[in-house]
Amino acid sequence: MTTTQSNVRVNSVDITKHASTDDALCLENQVCFSLYSAANAMVRAYRPLLDKLDLTYPQYLVMLVLWEEQGINVKTLGDKLFLDSGTLTPLLKRLEAKGLVTRGRSEQDERVRVLALTPAGFTLKTLASEVPHLMRCKVGGEASELKALKAICDQTLKQLQASADAPTASDI
Amino acid sequence: MTTTQSNVRVNSVDITKHASTDDALCLENQVCFSLYSAANAMVRAYRPLLDKLDLTYPQYLVMLVLWEEQGINVKTLGDKLFLDSGTLTPLLKRLEAKGLVTRGRSEQDERVRVLALTPAGFTLKTLASEVPHLMRCKVGGEASELKALKAICDQTLKQLQASADAPTASDI
DNA sequence: TTAATTTTGGTTGTGCGCAATTCAATTGTG
DNA sequence: CACAATTGAATTGCGCACAACCAAAATTAA
């Protein structure tokens, strides 16, 4: 079932179960708005926790990656976080200015920035260790619900990336 | 079940099913990161559709509200969209500059801005009417899944707003 | 009625997010 | 080797998000 061409089936569903224009343009019916608002609220909720680490949420994400694996470059980091160099370069400079990260150069390829933690950056992991639990309390809900949320978000991201590469008829 | 003090139960779950610090700080395990990435991808996917209307996604959200109901003020709009005046004021000025929206003043209360559509703003609704369907195709997935996604996002937003008002022990 | 408080919106400053562009380093090809 | 194409990162410019702060108007209290 789920292996058939999804878009075609979706189209047919939208045609058979056709909602009026007013219904479709109604804010209350918009999944994307719920996703957008929940994501904003999530970043907002992280703020007081991350203020104690002097990190923003995107900076925290970069630190999560570097606590797992050092010596990676900006491209790899961007692939993991789904962010590009226009976002990461200034962010990494800020982390460097705070003394948490070093931005070296690869010897094999002079273009490549090699990212690593300073001792202070590594130490910050201890302070960060309580953040997930505190955030978990704020979010609430059943573990199974959150697992389902993660699964649908991951699936949606994947699908959106796929439809970004193979665009609409107007491009042909 | 769902009416009991949620945080307490969540705490106990976190204690009994305790994950290691490394597991908790692992990017792969972070629901919030999935939510954040999916929301970013969603805004990105809207962009080519909304470019045809010369709107950004937040601007589109404001237009959705105004297509439903005119004559509202900035506060009410912000309550509906979960955005504050720092975000909305410049955004509304841009919509005004595009000739889509008027920012009048209430006669009863000189502070309140009364937002309304220009004829061009109202007409844009016709052009926007195909956006939901096109976006629905990009997102893919079963209708039931998206309904579930919306429900969990709405619930999460509500919970995060609640825990923002009644903060942690460190504030006492 | 004055004084204190609340409400509404605006301003400023910081940090993303991303499209578009640029640039230098590397790789591929004849 | 020359030279075109590719790649990794940086830069520029715009539009959010939001905290912090401010001013004016309205409401309430004294």
Taking a contact as any Cβ pair under 8 Å apart, which residues of chain A between 99 and 158 contact chain B? 125, 128-129, 131-141, 143, 145-150, 152-157
Amino acid at B75: K
Q: Report residue B6 as tokens.
A: 């949620």
- Per-residue model confidence as pLDDT tens digits over B61-111: 999 999 999 999 999 999 999 999 999 999 999 999 999 999 999 999 999
Residues of B (16-75) whose Cβ lies below 8 Å from A: 17, 21, 24-27, 30-46, 48, 57, 61, 64-65, 67-68
B3 phi and psi, to 5 degrees? Answer: -90, -10
Residue B57 lies in a domain: yes
For residue B150, tell me if it sits in a domain: no
Residue A154, burial from CB neighbour count under 10 angstroms (0-12, 13-18, 19+): middle
pLDDT in tens, chain A (172 residues): 333 343 344 433 444 445 666 777 787 778 999 999 999 999 999 999 999 999 999 999 999 999 999 999 999 999 999 999 999 999 999 999 999 999 999 999 999 999 999 999 999 999 999 999 999 999 998 899 999 999 999 999 999 998 887 655 554 4
Pairing assessment for the beta strands A113-117 and B101-105 based on DSSP bridges = unpaired
Q: Quick count: other Cβ atoms within 10 Å of Cβ A43?
A: 18
Which positions of strand C lie within 7 Å of protein CB atoms? 7-13, 15-20, 24-27
Beta-bridge partners for B72? B115
Q: Is A49 part of any domain?
A: yes
> Which domain, by its residues, includes A148?
29-165
Kindly state whether residue A132 falls inside one of the protein's structural domains. Answer: yes
Residue B9 maps to a domain: no
Domain count of the fold of chain B: 1
Q: What contacts A36, CB < 8 A, 6 or more positions away?
A: B39, B42, B43, B57, B61
CA distance B172 to B170: 6
For the record, the structure tokens of B26 come out as 């692992």
CB contact under 8 A, B167 and A7: no
Task: Say which amino acid occupies B171.
Answer: D
- Does residue B51 sit within a domain? yes
Q: Which H or E run includes A119?
A: helix A119-128
CA–C1' distance A131–C21 (Å)? Answer: 39
CB A62 within 8 A of CB A91: yes
Two tokens, residue B155: 């619930």
Q: Which two tokens stand for residue A6?
A: 């999804």
Q: How far apart are CA A63 and CA B58, in angstroms?
A: 29
| Residue A118 domain flag | yes
Residues 6+ positions from A1 with CB-CB distance below 8 Å: none
CA of A57: nearest nucleotide by C1' is: C16
Task: Give the list of residues 6+ apart from residue A161 with CB closer than 8 angstroms, or none.
Answer: B41
- Which residue from B57, B52, B68 is spatially nearest to A26, judged by alpha carbons? B68
Q: Which nucleotide is nearest to B74 (CA to C1')?
A: C9
Distance CA(A147)–CA(A143), nearest Å, equals 6
Question: What are the tens digits of pLDDT across the range B14-73?
Answer: 444 456 666 777 777 789 999 999 999 999 999 999 999 999 999 999 999 999 999 999
Tell me the three state secondary structure of residue A102: strand
Residues (105-144, chain B) with CB within 7 Å of strand D atoms: 108-111
CATH number of B89's domain: 1.10.10.10
Does some domain include residue B19? no
Distance in Å, residue B110 CA to nucleotide D29 C1': 23
